[in-house]
Amino acid sequence: MNELRDLLGDLVADVDAVFLFSPNASFFEEFDDVDEEIVVVGPENTLDAEPFVELPIDFTDLEGRLRFGVEGALEQGIVDEGDEVLCVTEVLDGAENTLVRVQTNDFSPSGVYDMFVNSRADASVVRDVFEVAIELGKKGQKGKPVGALFVVGDAGKVMNKSRPLSYNPFEKSHVHVGDPIVNVMLKEFSRLDGAFVISDAGKIVSAYRYLEPSAEGVDIPKGLGARHMAAGAVTRDTMATAIVLSESDGLVRAFKGGELVLEIDPEEY
Ligand SMILES: Nc1ncnc2c1ncn2[C@@H]1O[C@H](COP(=O)(O)OP(=O)(O)OP(=O)(O)O)[C@@H](O)[C@H]1O
Ligand SMILES: [Mn+2]
């Protein structure tokens, strides 16, 4: 008789590594004796696991989460190209209810791991800006959809490639992303045109900047307009990362090195 176990056992057979996404302590300990390499992926290394891949944001979409874990492990040399990896994770708030077997080559590098970890700006600054954009996307401005453009890192060069559209409300202030009051200010100022420029350390350098990078050769997906084009182009001309909330489709996108590296729907957060 065919037992399910026999039929589905191939799914877990002969893998090079097992990735546990945000496991709890007791589940993690059960893997003590397995022969395969165990890799923990999560927002914080509360279990002192080694090796560990830190998730900068809570990816609700499964593919984004797997991709980040795999790219991070490849980048850190924990796994190699072509390795077979078994991912144990959750969907729909059901702890450890999902097994996905992937080969590390299944993911063509998207740059998402690189964007957080190897940005000029601190990973926490990139994450904080992401969170503002997601929150803004969820709530809009007084219920209306709103767009916004944040350029993070390499601020001196970004300022050189842009011009003011209005007075800069952050001119003499020393405020940083992540402060609750600053998040309110960013949301308020996002009603007006232009981009926010943020330093590597998270200081808000300016609001209302009109970006003027050279857009020559920048290849962004069709259908996106001037805001996204400017975001893509400024990251090719500088070491910055650009995070864009689209007023028209409500998605948050990130650009680095002139390319789209991440696209998320705030409604799923
Ligand atoms: N070069 C630029 N620098 C800064 N802000 C810009 C630039 N170009 C456009 N924007 C801002 O983007 C807004 C929307 O422009 P547009 O509709 O062309 O962009 P989009 O990519 O379609 O974005 P959305 O999806 O939000 O509509 C403009 O009103 C302006 O505030
Ligand atoms: Mn538009």
Among 110, 129, 163, give the residue marking a domain's end: 110
Which residue's CA lies nearest to atom 20 of ligand 1?
225
Which residue's CA lies nearest to atom 13 of ligand 1?
227
For position 27, what pLDDT does the model report?
94
Among 110, 127, 147, give the residue marking a domain's end: 110
Regarding the beta carbon of 224 and ligand 1, being less than 6 Å apart is answered yes
With cut-offs at 50, 70 and 90, classify the pLDDT of residue 188: confident
Residues 93 and 155 in one domain: no
Regarding the beta carbon of 147 and ligand 1, being less than 6 Å apart is answered yes
Regarding the beta carbon of 247 and ligand 1, being less than 6 Å apart is answered yes
Residues 185 and 200 in one domain: yes
pTM of the model: 0.85
17-45 pLDDT, tens digit per residue, is 999 999 999 999 999 999 999 999 999 99
Residue 109 near residue 71, CB atoms below 8 Å: yes
Q: Which of 227, 229, 238, 244 to mutate to test the pocket of ligand 1 (most atoms within 8 A of CB)?
A: 227
What tokens were used for 147?
A: 């767009």
> Is residue 269 in some structural domain?
no
209-261 pLDDT, tens digit per residue, is 999 999 887 888 999 999 999 999 999 999 999 999 999 999 999 999 999 98
Ligand at minimal distance from the CA of 148 is 1
> Is residue 84 in some structural domain?
yes
For position 202, what pLDDT does the model report?
96
Which residue's CA lies nearest to atom 22 of ligand 1?
225
ipTM: 0.99
What tokens were used for 151?
A: 């350029």
Regarding the beta carbon of 109 and ligand 1, being less than 6 Å apart is answered no
For position 1, what pLDDT does the model report?
58
User: What type of residue is 106?
Assistant: D
DSSP letters of 64-85?
HHHHHHHHHHHHTTSS-TT-EE
113-139 pLDDT, tens digit per residue, is 888 888 899 988 998 999 899 989 998
Pairing mode, if any, of strands 241-245 and 148-152?
A: antiparallel
What tokens were used for 237?
A: 């001309």
For position 142, what pLDDT does the model report?
76
Q: Range of 255's domain?
A: 115-264
Phi, then psi, of 67 in degrees rounded to 5:
-60, -45
What tokens were used for 236?
A: 């090719």
Residue 210 near residue 193, CB atoms below 8 Å: yes
| Arithmetic mean of pLDDT, 167-171 | 92
Ligand 1 atom at minimal distance to the Cα of residue 211? 3
Residues 129 and 242 in one domain: yes
Residues 125 and 93 in one domain: no
Torsion sign (Cα): 63, 65, 66, 69: positive
137 CA to middle of ligand 2, Å? 15
For position 89, what pLDDT does the model report?
95
Q: Is the pLDDT of residue 54 over 80?
A: yes
Among 57, 88, 110, give the residue marking a domain's end: 110
